[in-house]
Amino acid sequence: MVSGYRARGYNFDITNSTAYDQYFVQGRPIYESISRIVDDIFNEYIRRKGQNVPYFTSFCNGTTATCQGMSQWGTVTLAERGLTPLEILRSYYPPDIEIAETNIITGNISSYPGTALRTGSTGLDVQTIQVYLNRIRRNYPAIPAVTDEAGVFGDSTKAAVTQFQRIFNLAADGIVGRSTWYKISSIYTAVARLAELDSEGQALGIGTVPPGSMLRQGSSGQDVITLQYLLDLISAYYPDIPAPTQDGIFGSQTRQAVLAFQQAMQLNADGIVGPQTWQALYDTYQGIQQNVPPTGSGSGVINYTVQAGDTLWLLSRRYDTTVEAIKQLNGLTSDMLLIGQVLKIPAAGSPSWFEYTVLPGDTLWLLSRRYGTTVEAIRQLNGLTGDLIDVGQILRIPVRS
C-alpha cells in the first residue's frame, strides 16, 4: 500500500514496506535512528495533572478518518510553526495534560485479584470495588450506597454488589468473582468515560488500605507492582532501603528491599510481605505524603495534593481560609474531592516552617538533607539541645526560601 503524499507536495511516500518506512514486521530490519527514539520514549505517557492513570488520546489521519483527537496533518502544520511536542498535544487535548514517565514495565497483568471477594474480605481490592460501585450508582441509583469502612467488605458492600449483579444479569450472590469484577470494571469505565476524551479521570491510585495478599519471592502481578512502587518511593527517604525495579515480579532485588524495609521498621525480617509489613509500608508512605511540604507559587497560593480524609472544610481550617475561597480559586461547583487531586489554596503569606512527624529511621541529618536546610536550623527552630529525636515527635522544619 502506498499513500499519495508526493501528490500533496511532499518529497516522500508512506508505504508498508520496511525498505522505505518503519512499518514493523517480525524478523525484518528496522531503522536504527527510529529504534533509538522508541527506546527513549517508550515508557512515557500522557496524563492529566494530579492523576497517575494514562489519559485516553485518539489519533487519526484527518483525511480518510476523523476523530475528536489529534490529526496527523494538523500536527505537521503546528510543528512547522515551531510548537513543541507538548504544545502540539495541548492543542488537541486539555491544557493540563503532561508527559509522565514510568519505570513500571511489565507484560499484561490481569486486574482480577485471583480470589473472590466476599463478606469479611479486606484490602485494596475491596476498596477499589467500593469506589467503583459508589461512582456507578450515580448512573444506576437503584444500587445502594457503600457505607462500609474503606477496604472492608461488609453488609453494605454485599448489598451493592448483589443489586449490581441483578441489574446486569449476573448470579446475584453478593460475591465478586471474576465475571462480576470485570463487569464492574467495564461499567465503571463506561460511566466515568475513561475511554473518552472528556473522561472524568481516575485518581484512586494505590488507595488508602493495603492489599490482603501474602507476597514472597516468586510472586507476580499487580500487588507486586504496588509493593515495588511503595518501596521505590520510600527508598528516596530511607537510604538503607534499595529501590527495586518496578516490573511486577518479586525477585531477589525486591526481596532485598523488603528485608531492608523490615529491618528499618523493626519488623521480623523474613522477606515476606504479610499484613504487618503491608500496614507498615502504607503507614510509612502516608507519613511521607503528609510530611512533604506544599509548594508555593509565589503569588499567595499553595499547591496542595489531596490526601485521604481531606475535606474542603478541613483544608480551610488548616490554611486559615474559607471553603468558598478554595472553590472559587479552583472553579469547583461541589465539595467533592479526589485523592491525588491538586488544589490551589489561598495563603496570606508563605510559611517559614512546616510541621513534620518523625518516622522510624529519621535523623536530624537526614531531615536536613531531605528538605534543603541544616541540622542547626532545625535545632534552633525546635529548641533542641542535642540530636536525639523520637518516632512520632512533631518537628518544625524550616521552609526553603
How far apart, in whole angstroms, are the C-alpha atoms of residue 84 and residue 77?
A: 12
Domain with CATH 1.10.101.10 in the chain: 222-290
Q: What is the DSSP string of 229-283?
A: HHHHHHHTT-TTSPPPP-SSB--HHHHHHHHHHHHHTT---SS-B-HHHHHHHHH
- 124 neighbors 181 (Cβ within 8 angstroms): no
Q: What is the pLDDT of residue 159?
A: 95
Pick from 93-97, 228-232, 374-378: least confident = 93-97
- The residue ranges of DSSP E strands in 316-390, in sequence order, are 342-346, 353-357
Q: pLDDT at position 24, please?
A: 60
Q: What is the pLDDT of residue 328?
A: 78
Contacts of 143 (CB under 8 A, 6+ apart): 133, 136, 137, 160, 163, 164, 167
Half-sphere exposure of residue 387: CA atoms within 13 angstroms, side-chain side: 10
Residue 315, C-beta contacts closer than 8 angstroms, at least 6 positions apart: 304, 321, 326, 343, 345
Q: Which residue has the higher pLDDT, 110 or 148?
A: 148
What is the model's pLDDT at position 298? 46
Q: In degrees rounded to 5, what are phi and psi of residue 354?
A: -135, 160
- CATH 3.10.350.10 positions along the chain are 293-346, 353-398
The residue ranking higher by pLDDT, 338 or 251, is: 251
pLDDT digits (tens, 9 = 90+) for 169-208: 999 999 999 889 989 988 887 887 665 565 556 555 566 7
Tell which CATH architecture fits domain 293-346: Roll (3.10)
Neighbours of 337 (CB within 10 A): 20
Domain made up of 222-290: CATH architecture: Orthogonal Bundle (1.10)
Q: Which of 16-30, 59-73, 208-222, 252-266 has the highest mean pLDDT?
A: 252-266
Contact 329, 375 (CB under 8 A): no
Amino acid at site 321: T
Among candidate residues 203, 214, 205, 352, the one with its CA nearest the CA of residue 278 = 214
If one compares 306 and 4, the residue with the highest pLDDT of the two is 306
pLDDT of residue 278: 93
Going 182 to 185 to 188 to 194, the CA torsion angle's sign is negative
pTM: 0.51
Q: What is the CATH number of domain 353-398?
A: 3.10.350.10
Comparing CA positions, the residue from 307, 291, 304 lying closest to residue 358 is: 291
